[in-house]
Structures are given as structure tokens and as C-alpha cells.
Amino acid sequence: MTRKDNIFFLILLAPALFILLLFIAVPIGQSLFLSFHRLILSLPQLGSPFLGLENYKDLLHDPVARHSLWITLIFVCAATFFELLIGVLLALLMHHHFPGRGMLRACVLIPWAVPTVVSAQMWRFLLNDAYGMVNYVIFGAHTTEYIPWLALPSTALLSLIVADVWKTSSFAALLILAGLQVIPEELYLASRVDGAGVWQRFWRITWPLIRPALMVALLFRTIDAFRVFDLAFVMTQGGPADATNVLQFYGYKKMFVEGWMGYGSAISVCIFVMVLILAVFYVRMVGHRLLEASG
């Protein structure tokens, strides 16, 4: 490895790092900067005076923002929990050797490939209050009992969670499946010879060995769930009565619909900080493991 080589490598790296800097690192810094200022797009004559922490103070006393944070946390916890649960079940099924295994894996992958916007429209249709399949399955032809899932504050968030779980469980399943596949078959054979039952085999062998993969899936899904936007935009527009006004949607509305750039930036910085804490965990855990695994 000569000096000339190193310079050559840096030249190769430069364009990619430049793009990442220009479109990710710098914008993050700018958002932080904007969050300390008042900038209203529709009132450019006001300029952008420095406010210090005022946007954040307002945010603390903004009932909509607090509600939004609460909603987002419920969404993140519930969606991630069910995704992992279903993910483990799907992974265990796909891990079995049986004739239709490839077919099953392809089926399970399809929701992952469906664009979120399409799956959102799909669930809007399935949950329709007059002719939706979900109502039909539950109530049959008794149309008077049909529930307007997306129009009731109590069920709208649940609907978003169901839509998210449908689409992303397969991703969790794939990560967990990758974890399962490193478990040597002999372990199961040996334990079977020793008379271990199905449950024992699961808790004593499978569980400890898939735990790292499960943690990866958990962190990854949590980070992703914090960014939920498409589902809220298409299915409910944040409603009814802010019942699905998740943080990213609220930030979007403040910034791009109402034009409150400074205040919206404060919201986005809050999401960013929450995700950052998770991301640090994630990078420390997964990053090292991946790098070591690659030699």
C-alpha cells in the first residue's frame, strides 16, 4: 500500500462522500440551525430572526405536538412488537425444509416489495366502511354494523399499525431467518437424541442464537417506524382529530403546508435526536458485528 495508492483511494471516495455531505450531513446541520430561528415561508419580509430555544419551548407547550409524540410512540412500539412476533413465526416456517419453501419465501417477500403508498391505498380499500373486506369478514352482510375504521379516532391508529405490520413483517422475518440459518443442524439433532421437546429446543437453542438477529431487526424496525409518513398521508391525512398525526406528518404539515420552517425544523430535530439515540445503539452493535463477520 503506497502513498500514491492512498491518494487514489481518496479520489475514488470523494464523489460518494461529497453527495452524502451535500444531501444528508449539511441539511441535518441546517435543520438544527433553522430550529433556533423563526422562518415563515409566507412572510419572507420578517427574515429569520434568532430565537434561541424558543421553538423548543413552544414545542413543549404545544398540545398537538405532545399528542403527536404520544401517538408516534404507541405506533412504534405496537408495530415493532407485532412485526417481530410475526417475523419470528414466518422465519421459523421458512426455515423448515419442505417442497414449497421457495414459493413461500417469494410470497412472504411480496408485501415488502409493494410500495408503501400502494399498500396504504390497499388498506384504505380493505377497511372501507361500506364495502371493505375487513368489515365483510367480521360482520358478513350486516352492513349496519360496519365500522368506519379510518374515521374513528379509536381505530384509525390501529389501522395504520395493521398496514405497517402487513408490509414490514417480512423484512423482520428475513433478518431473523438469516440468523436461524447459521445455527448448525447438529445442535438440533443432538438435542433430539437427548430427548428435548419442541419447546425446550426453541428456548434453549433457537432463542439464544437468533437473539442477535432479533435485536438487529428490533432496532432497525424501530428506527424505520419513527419515520412513518406515507401511511398517515394516504390513509388518514393525520386525522380524524389528530388521531394519526404522527411526528413526521406533523412536521411536514408545519413546514410545507403552513410554511413554519423554523418550528417545523424543531420538530424534525426532535425526531432526529430520538432516532439518533437508537441509531448509535444500532451502529455500535450491528456495525461491529458486520465488520468482524466480513473479516
Partner 1 sequence: MMKGFLQESLFLSGVLLAAGFSLAPFLWFILCALKTPAEVTAIPLQLLPSFSLESFRLAIERYGILHYLGNSIIVAGITTFVSISLGTFAGYALARLPRRPAKIILMAVLACAMFPHIAIAGPIWDFLRFMGWLNAYQGLILPYVALTLPLTIWILTLFFREMPEELEAAALVDGCTRIGSLQHVILPLSAPGLFTAAILSFIYAWNEFFLALLIMTDPAKQTMPVGIALFQGEYTIPWGEIAAASFITTAPLVLLVLLFQRRIVTGLSAGAIKG
75-114 residues near partner 1, rule: CB under 8 A? 86, 89-90, 93, 96, 98, 100, 102-114
Residue 188 interacts with partner 1 (CB under 8 A): yes or no: no
Residue 138 interacts with partner 1 (CB under 8 A): yes or no: no
Residue 286 interacts with partner 1 (CB under 8 A): yes or no: yes
H or E stretch at 113: helix 101-113
Binding-site size, partner 1 (CB under 8 A): 104
Shortest reach from residue 155's CB to partner 1, in Å: 17
H or E stretch at 15: helix 3-20
User: Which residues 6+ apart lie within 8 Å of 59 measured at CB?
Assistant: 65, 263, 266, 267, 270
Residue 178 interacts with partner 1 (CB under 8 A): yes or no: yes
Residue 200 interacts with partner 1 (CB under 8 A): yes or no: no
Among 65, 171, 238, 245, binds partner 1 (CB under 8 A): 171
CA 295 – CA 290 distance, rounded (Å): 9
Among 125, 184, 211, 241, binds partner 1 (CB under 8 A): 125
Nearer to partner 1, 53 or 133 (CB): 133
Residue 6 interacts with partner 1 (CB under 8 A): yes or no: yes
Residue 122 interacts with partner 1 (CB under 8 A): yes or no: yes
Residue 243 interacts with partner 1 (CB under 8 A): yes or no: no
Within 15-34, the residues that bind partner 1 by CB under 8 A are 15-17, 19-20, 22-28, 30-31, 34
CA 79 – CA 234 distance, rounded (Å): 18
> Hey, what's the cell of 155?
381505530
- Cβ contact 177:94 at 8 Å: yes
Among 58, 73, 74, 136, binds partner 1 (CB under 8 A): 136
Please compute, for residue 128, the number of CA atoms within 13 A of its CA located in the half-sphere on the CB side.
Answer: 8
Per-residue x/- track, 223-242, partner 1 (CB under 8 A): xx-xx-xx--xx--------
Nearer to partner 1, 78 or 88 (CB): 88
Per-residue CA distances from 283 to 130, 216, 227, 277, 287 (Å): 46, 10, 18, 10, 5
Candidates 156, 171, 12, 146; CA nearest to 80 is: 171
CA 124 – CA 94 distance, rounded (Å): 30
Among 170, 236, 244, 245, binds partner 1 (CB under 8 A): 170
Shortest reach from residue 187's CB to partner 1, in Å: 20
Nearer to partner 1, 78 or 177 (CB): 177
Candidates 76, 52, 56; CA nearest to 66 is: 56
Residue 256 interacts with partner 1 (CB under 8 A): yes or no: yes
Residue 175 interacts with partner 1 (CB under 8 A): yes or no: yes
- Cβ contact 210:95 at 8 Å: no
Tell me if residue 40 falls in helix, strand or coil.
Answer: strand
